[in-house]
Amino acid sequence: MEESQAVAAVERAMVAIRRSQSRRAIQRLAGDTQLDPALFAVIDAVEEGPGAATVSAVADRMGIDQPRASRLVARAVEAGLLRRVADPADGRRSILELTGHGSEQTDQVHRFRREVFGAAMRGWPERDQREFARLLTAFVGALGRPAGPLTDDRGRQL
């Protein structure tokens, strides 16, 4: 497969993943999971690290603006999934922590996701699963790094 064909195949696969991760698809698959799918990303951002989870950190980790992150965090607090605690280093700042209920729900979501991903790879040799994990992790890490300037097929900067 030529590089451009490989990149096009990755693009199509990423679009398919995005569609399969839509709110409706997740709700259908999640069944009895009590956590609102809209709050999955908030909980993930709080857990992600590094550093303290603040509303600003959640916004950065989710790639959204601070007002939207603030509304989502407020919903997670209202749902009993997160609590705000004073930052011991700066009492004016709040740090977000999972509550006991939030931890239980998060564990359930992690189990659910792993079941879905495990089912998708069922029948794959263990070696292929490890290689896929390695490559996907590297790919996701590379997506987070700034790219150089965009160029056309002749190498001219766009």
pLDDT tens digits along 143-156: 877 665 656 666 66
Q: 6 and 71: one domain?
A: no
- Look at residue 18 in the predicted model and tell me its pLDDT: 82
In angstroms, the CA 115 to CA 121 distance is 10
pTM given for the model: 0.71
Q: 63 and 123: one domain?
A: yes
Q: 90 and 48: one domain?
A: yes
Percent of all residues in the chain with a pLDDT value above 70, rounded to a whole number: 80
CB of 82 closer than 8 Å to CB of 96: yes
- 32 vs 83, more confident: 83
Q: Is the pLDDT of residue 11 over 80?
A: yes
- 2 vs 112, more confident: 112
Query: Is residue 66 a part of any domain in this protein?
Result: yes
Percent of all residues in the chain with a pLDDT value above 90, rounded to a whole number: 44
Q: 47 and 69: one domain?
A: yes
**For the chain, what is the domain count?**
2
Q: 17 and 58: one domain?
A: no
Query: Is residue 16 a part of any domain in this protein?
Result: yes
Mean pLDDT over 32-56 rounds to 81
Give me the CATH number covering residue 92. Answer: 1.10.10.10
CB of 7 closer than 8 Å to CB of 62: no
Q: What angle do CA 140, 143, 149 make, to 5 degrees?
A: 165
Q: Is the pLDDT of residue 14 over 70?
A: yes
Q: 79 and 130: one domain?
A: yes
> Is the bond preceding 50 in cis, omega lying within 30 degrees of 0?
yes
In angstroms, the CA 127 to CA 95 distance is 40
Domain assignment of residue 6, given as a range = 1-31
Mean pLDDT score across all residues of the chain = 84
Q: 27 and 43: one domain?
A: no
- Look at residue 32 in the predicted model and tell me its pLDDT: 58
Q: 14 and 57: one domain?
A: no
Q: What angle do CA 51, 56, 59 make, to 5 degrees?
A: 105
Q: 48 and 106: one domain?
A: yes
Query: Is residue 149 a part of any domain in this protein?
Result: no
- pLDDT for 90-139, tens place per residue? 888 899 999 999 998 888 888 888 988 999 999 999 999 999 999 999 99
